[in-house]
A and B are shown apart, each in its own frame.
Chain A
């Protein structure tokens, strides 16, 4: 197996492992806020690893550039989605996004 082939295999295996661990973390946590933490590796690390595997295999051809673009889109959009979801969870729980009066009296959230 050539060095490039080995690099592709290692990058793919790492990407799959990160995705699995992320899915297991989301499954095992009990709280939406805890679960949200475990969506980050699958959406920030795994696309970069798998996109890098495609780029190593194909070089900067149409396929390589598109794979890099997909990784960039996933890395860029998922923090926004995570924030929106956490905001929705907090508003459902407390009725507002900002610090509540009760929390302010206790000295912070």
Chain B
């Protein structure tokens, strides 16, 4: 097991607090948990791409980074007034 796989496993453990925040608190707290989970997921995919040594896998992390940003903005916009 390389240090990259270990780092990916360790980063995955960071998703547990994000999940707990998503399950408790008000809507804005849950959105913050979701945003942080998106960032941690991006880092996990980045580290896994290096662990598997495939340059094409980095595109997955890039797509997730851009899409979680767009998704977070949409959620924030709707939480302002409508939800």
Which residues of A does B touch, CB under 8 Å? 8-9, 12-13, 15-16, 19-20, 22-24, 26-27, 32, 35-36, 39, 42-43, 46-47, 50-51, 54, 57-58, 61-63, 66-67, 69-70, 73-74, 77-78, 80-81, 84-85, 87-89, 91-92
Contacts and interface: CB of A to CB of B under 8 A. Distances in A.
Nearest to B7: A12
Interface SS, B side = helix
B11 A88 contact: no
Interface in B44-71: 46-47, 49-50, 55, 58-59, 61-62, 65-66, 69
Contact of B36 (A39, A61, A87, A91): A39
Given A67-B58, A88-B77, A15 B43 contact: yes
Given A32-B28, A81-B76, A85-B35, A73 B62 contact: yes
Contacts of B58: 62-63, 66-67, 70
The list of the 9 closest CB pairs from A to B, nearest first, reads: A66-B58, A27-B17, A84-B76, A23-B17, A77-B69, A32-B28, A88-B76, A62-B55, A89-B28
B72 A92 contact: no
Given A80-B69, A88-B79, A19 B11 contact: yes
Given A66-B55, A74-B65, 17 more contacts: A16-B10, A23-B17, A26-B17, A26-B18, A32-B26, A32-B28, A36-B32, A62-B55, A67-B58, A69-B62, A74-B39, A74-B42, A80-B73, A81-B69, A85-B32, A88-B28, A92-B81
Contact of B42 (A35, A63, A70): A70
A78 B21 CA distance: 18
A59 to B, nearest CB: 12
